Amino acid sequence: MAKTNFQYEKRQKELEKKKKAEEKARRKLEAKNNPKPADGSEGDEPEADESDADPAAEDDAPAQPQ
């Protein structure tokens, strides 16, 4: 029966920890360089105002008889 190579397993765990730490540091640096707004909304997409709505869409409604 073959012996388990504990040094190999330990090295793989160390490499995995190092990779996770680097990924976490990268995400932390990205968050620092690109802070999100405090209100919790994403800053990438502009919000549409009601004044920007298509005025023709309001005319599509049937007229109310008076």
Q: Give the other-Cβ count within 10 Å of 41's Cβ.
A: 10
Dihedral of CA atoms 26, 32, 33, 36 in degrees, nearest 10, equals 120
Token output for 50: 């009601």
The pLDDT of residue 25: 97
Token output for 59: 């005319």
Tell me the pLDDT tens digit for each residue of 15-49.
999 999 999 999 999 999 987 766 665 555 555 55
Q: How far apart are CA 10 and CA 4, in angstroms?
A: 11
Q: Using an 8 Å Cβ cutoff, are 43 and 36 in contact?
A: yes
